[in-house]
Structure 1
Amino acid sequence: MGKWLKLLVRLGLVLVIVAGAFYYWLRPLLVRIESTTLADGIHVKFKTQGMNVEEYTNDAWQPYFAKGINMGATIPGHYPGELAISEDEYERWFGMIQDMGANVIRVYTIMMPEFYEALSKYNMKHQKDPLFFLQGVWSPEEQLIEGQDAFDPKIKEKFEQEIKDAVAAVYGKTTLTPEPHSGKAGGAYKYNAGPYLMGWIVGTEWDPKMVKGTNELHADTPDYAGKYFSSTPGANAFEKWLALMVDTAAQTEIQYGWQHPMAFANWVTTDPIAHPGEPLVEEDMVSVDPTHIEAVNWEAGYFASYHVYPYYPDFFAFDKSFQEMTNSKGEPDSYYTYLNKLKAAHSNMPVMVTEYGVPASLGVAHLGTLGRNQGGHSEKGQGEIDVELLGQIHDSGYAGAILFTWQDEWFKKTWNTQRYDEADRRAYWYNTLTNESFFGVLGMFPGKDEAIHIDGDAADWDKLKDKTKLDIQASGFEEIWATHDEGYLYLEAKLSEPFDPSTESINFGVDTLPGGNRHGPELHGMVLDEGLETLIQLSDDTRSRMTIASNYDIHARLYERAGLPAVDPKEKLDDSGIFKPWKLAVNYLLEYPDSRVNHPFGDVEVGILERGYSDPARPDYNSKTMWQVQGQVLEIRIPWMLLGFSDPSSLSVINYTQPNKNKFEMTHVKGVRLVPWIVKQNQIVGQENSATAKQVAVSAMPLYTWQGWEDKVNYVERPKQSYYMLKEALHKINGPITTND
């Protein structure tokens, strides 16, 4: 009897384990996701109808506006493809996203398995109001650009496999090998997130030269007639290739018992609209037209997906034909005009803007009209523009607006700073000049974001353990302290008397390398034994800035042969005595035949140091604040790149060597030396009657140094002001502006 009892107990345990495992893997399928079922048993939750996307809910099809946000794949200190974001972290983010008012997340590529499992678990807890997602499929972008032929068998096969892998990952039916160096995720995909899918977006932004090359190589390619998607008469070769890829996605998905709306990624550069005022030929070279592909026996339908920013390409600023419409303020608005023209070019199909927005950053990469630049915005300024763009997209009758993006990602690069930093170290520090990293509404701030608030109050410094007192004897200063984090060098100074910015200025010369300026007008007669690379000048709100020694001027050295006006030979000399504004390029010199019209090289000053308060709890908070003084207490934070650093985590700076083939050489340094002085009524404090005081031994100044960090970073996650501004705007949108009868 005991033997049989033990056997029954063991059998019971086995059944419990099997049942538990069965429930674990199938419980997403047990959740009731309201959908309609086709005759062949295929489920449909979303479909396109005329100009709208519709959701099946409350036993009927209802118009649906995708209030979305794009989500990246990583956090500070990591690159895409690394297992960096935990399941718990995803679930917490999903709650924040839904609380903000978004109803859909768009991801660009196959995410790590934790994303799909976390989303499924989150939605099981929110069955009455689930959070949906748009799944992107990353195309072999580099191979396409290099080969200039989408029909290359290796490229075609690789993309088709990526599509099949993406579908299998979403439905929890595959195991993929991760490739961290290429950004490809992997692992065991066992959780079925398919019931929460809203649609598919196949591919990435298309290189116009590649599209043109493909069309020319395969001009005789026959129309594509697929099982679910076909090209239409008049489609070019690349569009036929895309029809094949979208059809591949459909044929793969239906095997899992579902249909979802399909689209391919597109952007303004390859839209079907003519841009007669676009100066750069490549930006209006070729069209990729979504209307040249149609759904065949695909009940879920097909929509168009575009990335539309207000500052790129340049026709947004130059083309008068795109300034015909006025916005709600009565201003000629190229973005609003474009939205309406793009919508009109897609008759009888829904169109979504699946990327829009501006970054909150110090750096700027392009200039747009109405101040909608790519960068240079505070968090509040970012929010104001993002809200305005969202309203225009919605009011223009689009089926959705997907903001770029949810979280800041430090690893990103931008065209006008990527030659100033070390590519394999970008993820390990916070470079506010690289605007591409800071489109997020969830800020990822450097480690001391909560420990130090720039407000002219030394109380937070009193609590710091990792700070260094600099033994500098300088008139007007009682003591100077320094510390640092992943984003800034911080200074706190106690002055001898209260500071009056209307009559005096505080200056810090910074030395990192041998060379630079040892004299100059800004030094007011001082002669140094070692040169300064950069100079900080703090006075009133309009004159506080960082400048750079002319022979160390990174900007001038890089772009002198690329359209920047000729540099005076005197400025190239060591100890020129000239300090130049710290600038970033915003456009190259455009000349025929690359452009239709000539347009001069453009740049902007980014060394302006704003005075304000960096405490987000204050009503007068300004995220771009770099300094503040109250009475005798001065606080300042200095972005690393403005000091010439290419990677502060390894104490690496750009050196004086002339760039070779647009690439700077880097040098590891021991730290920085600071030379402080105060100028009052055009006279340095403490030097009125002392000739010898003009000789300054910079080499004898204390060196502020730090231990470099390899791959472990500290950061602070915090919603930006823009998050709360978008939250208010998103909650006011309840559906599309127009519906079909």
Structure 2
Amino acid sequence: DDFYNAIYTYNTTHEEPLYLLQALTLPDAVNYGEGDAFRKSFYGRLLSDGLKLVDIIHGRRILPVGEMSGSGYYRKDISPWVIGYLVGTEWNPDVIAYTDERDIYDTAYDGAYFSTTDGAGAFEAMLTKIMDRITAYESKKYKEQRLIGFMNEPLTDPFVYRDDYGKVIYKFENKDLEKKTYGRQLDKYVCLDAEHVIPGEKNQAGTFAFYHLYDFCPEFYKYFSEEQKAGLADILPSMDMSKSFDGYLDLLGKYHTMPVIGSFGFSTSRGITTDAYGGPLDEKAQGERLMTVYRDMEAAGFSGGCITGWQDQWERRSWNTAYTQDLANNKLWKDLQTDGQGYGLMEFTTSEVQIDGDPSEWSPDKVLLENQGRRLSVKTDGEGLCFLVEGSDVSENKTLYFPVDTTGESGSRTSDSPKLNFSADADFLLCLNGKNDSRLLVQSRYDSVRENFLNEMEGKNPFEEYPEADASEFVPIRMAMENKTVLEQVNPETYPLRYLPAWEAGKLRHGNNNPDSETYDSLADFCYGDGCVEIRIPWALLNFSNPAQRLIHADYYKNYGVKFMEIKKCRIGMGDGTEDEISMSEYSLKWKKQKYEERLKASYPIIQSVWR
């Protein structure tokens, strides 16, 4: 109720109010659970929550403590500022397919406020019934109506892709069914169409089409079925493919007969899931890209747009990092590597060290070791392990090496390339080699991407042959990325592997990471100063699953996957490769509850200047 109370307070004390498009979502456990969309936990929950939301915005609802959907005293009437309702989430295509294939449900629904048209499926009929019931409830109880629509996205949009793999015959409830698998390469096998849901005579508010927008497939329109191309013959020739999402915005704007709204976002995280933008986006690039999409939406005739995140969300996960994390506790620390956490315009900064080449914030008690006229200081914060190296020869022209040992279960005292020896087993090797060629390497046995994605990247089983515990090979740290390549020629008898590409996540970026600097670079990992260099290594790059509880990955090949183990200390060394052996010293890992500050990203004023 704090959120709704805050809206009421703001709007009754300001001349320009804030407006709300109220979402009605489902938990992942329901959306990706078993059964069809008409089960009680799916349809029943959507409807029940929808009716509660009507009462909530009118200030007429009390939810007791213990209800999973939220609790509180909703006594403030914010309905004058609620634009409408948005039903659903990014739907699980399997639930849509399963619901539509069953012949026990009607595909038609005729309500007083919403009805389906010919061609609707059972899932669309379910959504129509939800929209009709919510509108009927508000109309009868409060004598008001609002816009209402449902969530959609490229994976479930109205468009049909050609079937490159031929027809598939499969068993369903003891019957042979022929199922067209259009767009199987893209996992696009279901369709939802807002045009199949039309307002009834009693409906005076109307509906809209809503899409969550992202780069689905380069030149997607090339892969439409022939029937689909014919159906869009009046639209496809006039699409502006140079605009955002390869003309997808133009297509939606021209296809729909109702208002179209889109949500869109871009992450400033260090890690990525796609190379569609040439790598991670810094905060400035985030703002510029967001406003490019917004302008393209205006040009395409959209009625509105929503940026998907106001603030970064530490609890979010991404498919290519979730396997590495203690997901129940990832809100305790800031994971720079998870793409899903960085979509906000405001961040929560926990950094105790500004990576800007200025050593003034470091105290003498942080010095870990000294050798060859150089001094290494070490700190930790909510984002990673931080180094300060000081010395008369410390510059971008001097190559330095920093072995790091964490596990005690694996690691090597030697490195084949570069040729180095260490006083203890090392799991990681930080190679500082100027502004453009510095990176963190991992011992091949402790490479989490090899264990988890080798089959998807190279078609090999990682457990058939794997590196020895003391292997002396140190390899680049990578992230698996999406492969959206569409194969033009395929064999319908076999499913060809499209291997996942990799991004070198361990490549370090030079720049000034201090937000107060005129040359601020939000993605910078290290920065040279006068006779010094500051470095931050993100926790996830060091295979920490939960730094707040000092949990790291145990040996993958003893445990057949990612298991967590607690450590209390690590070992860190420093050298330039001229010594016989790089000496390593113990560093105690301690964690204190993180203090954070809210900070508007550099993207915010860019958006503000356009929207103002």
Q: TM-score band, normalised by the shorter chain?
A: 0.7 to 0.9
Q: Secondary structure, in 3 states, of the residue corresponding to 1:199?
A: strand
Q: Secondary structure, in 3 states, of the residue corresponding to 2:54?
A: helix
CA-CA distance at 1:274 after TM superposition: 2.6
Contact in 2 for aligned 1:272/1:345 (Cα 8 Å): no
Q: 1:614 to 1:326 in 2, by over 3 A?
A: farther
2:564 to 666, 675, 696: 666
CA-CA distance at 1:154 after TM superposition: 4.7
2:598 to 717, 728, 739: 717
1:676 to 568, 574, 580: 574
| Distance in structure 1 (CA, Å) of the matches to 2:203 and 2:435 | 60
Query: Within the alignment, does 1:604 sit opposite 2:499 as a pair?
Result: no
Query: Within the alignment, does 1:704 sit opposite 2:588 as a pair?
Result: yes
Q: 1:597 to 1:387 in 2, by over 3 A?
A: farther
Q: Please name the residue that 1:338 is paired with.
A: 248
Q: 1:592 to 1:289 in 2, by over 3 A?
A: farther
Q: Please name the residue that 2:471 is paired with.
A: 576
Matches within 5 A, 1:16-165: 113-127=1-15, 129-139=16-26, 141-165=28-52
CA-CA distance at 1:332 after TM superposition: 4.1
Query: Within the alignment, does 1:350 sit opposite 2:259 as a pair?
Result: yes
Contact in 1 for aligned 2:573/2:583 (Cα 8 Å): no
Q: Please name the residue that 1:520 is paired with.
A: 415
Q: Please name the residue that 1:474 is paired with.
A: 371
Percent identical pairs in the alignment equals 25
| Distance in structure 2 (CA, Å) of the matches to 1:654 and 1:321 | 42
| Distance in structure 2 (CA, Å) of the matches to 1:586 and 1:469 | 38
Q: Please name the residue that 2:212 is paired with.
A: 307
Q: 1:565 to 1:317 in 2, by over 3 A?
A: farther
| Distance in structure 2 (CA, Å) of the matches to 1:153 and 1:571 | 47
Per-residue deviation, residues 115-148 of structure 1 (Å, max 9, x unmatched): 1111111011123x21101001113553343233
| Distance in structure 2 (CA, Å) of the matches to 1:593 and 1:430 | 45
Contact in 2 for aligned 1:455/1:628 (Cα 8 Å): yes
Give the partner amino acid of 1:721: A
Query: Within the alignment, does 1:425 sit opposite 2:329 as a pair?
Result: yes
Structure 1 range deviating more: 218-227 or 237-246: 218-227
Query: Within the alignment, does 1:177 sit opposite 2:177 as a pair?
Result: no
CA-CA distance at 1:529 after TM superposition: 4.2
Matches within 5 A, 1:720-731: 720-731=601-612
Q: Secondary structure, in 3 states, of the residue corresponding to 1:432?
A: coil
Contact in 2 for aligned 1:234/1:292 (Cα 8 Å): yes
Q: Please name the residue that 2:386 is paired with.
A: 490
Q: Secondary structure, in 3 states, of the residue corresponding to 2:475?
A: strand
Contact in 2 for aligned 1:148/1:209 (Cα 8 Å): no
| Distance in structure 2 (CA, Å) of the matches to 1:340 and 1:177 | 46
CA-CA distance at 1:632 after TM superposition: 1.3
CA-CA distance at 1:437 after TM superposition: 0.5
Give the partner amino acid of 2:212: H
Structure 1: state its 5+ residue gaps: 1-112, 688-693, 732-741
CA-CA distance at 1:469 after TM superposition: 2.2
| Distance in structure 2 (CA, Å) of the matches to 1:594 and 1:214 | 28
Contact in 2 for aligned 1:325/1:333 (Cα 8 Å): no
| Distance in structure 2 (CA, Å) of the matches to 1:175 and 1:493 | 58
Q: 1:660 to 1:307 in 2, by over 3 A?
A: farther
Contact in 1 for aligned 2:416/2:474 (Cα 8 Å): no
- The count of residues paired between Structure 1 and Structure 2 equals 575
Q: Secondary structure, in 3 states, of the residue corresponding to 2:426?
A: coil
Give the partner amino acid of 1:303: F
Rg larger for: 1
Contact in 2 for aligned 1:140/1:158 (Cα 8 Å): no
CA-CA distance at 1:512 after TM superposition: 0.6
Q: 1:657 to 1:230 in 2, by over 3 A?
A: same
Q: 1:160 to 1:653 in 2, by over 3 A?
A: same
| Distance in structure 2 (CA, Å) of the matches to 1:594 and 1:678 | 56
| Distance in structure 2 (CA, Å) of the matches to 1:434 and 1:601 | 18
CA-CA distance at 1:156 after TM superposition: 2.5
Query: Within the alignment, does 1:457 sit opposite 2:353 as a pair?
Result: no
Q: Please name the residue that 1:614 is paired with.
A: 513
Q: Please name the residue that 1:31 is paired with.
A: none
Q: Which has the higher contact order (CA 8 A, sep 6+)?
A: 1
Contact in 2 for aligned 1:516/1:549 (Cα 8 Å): yes
TM-score by length of 2: 0.88
| Distance in structure 2 (CA, Å) of the matches to 1:516 and 1:639 | 20
Per-residue deviation, residues 64-102 of structure 1 (Å, max 9, x unmatched): xxxxxxxxxxxxxxxxxxxxxxxxxxxxxxxxxxxxxxx
Give the partner amino acid of 1:730: W
Per-residue deviation, residues 284-305 of structure 1 (Å, max 9, x unmatched): 2111110101111211111111
Contact in 1 for aligned 2:552/2:564 (Cα 8 Å): yes
| Distance in structure 2 (CA, Å) of the matches to 1:669 and 1:544 | 27
Contact in 1 for aligned 2:571/2:587 (Cα 8 Å): yes
Structure 1 range deviating more: 555-564 or 242-251: 555-564
Q: 1:593 to 1:632 in 2, by over 3 A?
A: farther
Per-residue deviation, residues 175-194 of structure 1 (Å, max 9, x unmatched): 113558x5x32111111111
Query: Within the alignment, does 1:291 sit opposite 2:195 as a pair?
Result: yes
Contact in 1 for aligned 2:355/2:514 (Cα 8 Å): yes
Per-residue deviation, residues 308-367 of structure 1 (Å, max 9, x unmatched): 112xx3x2366646998897xxx84561411111222212x00000x2121001101123
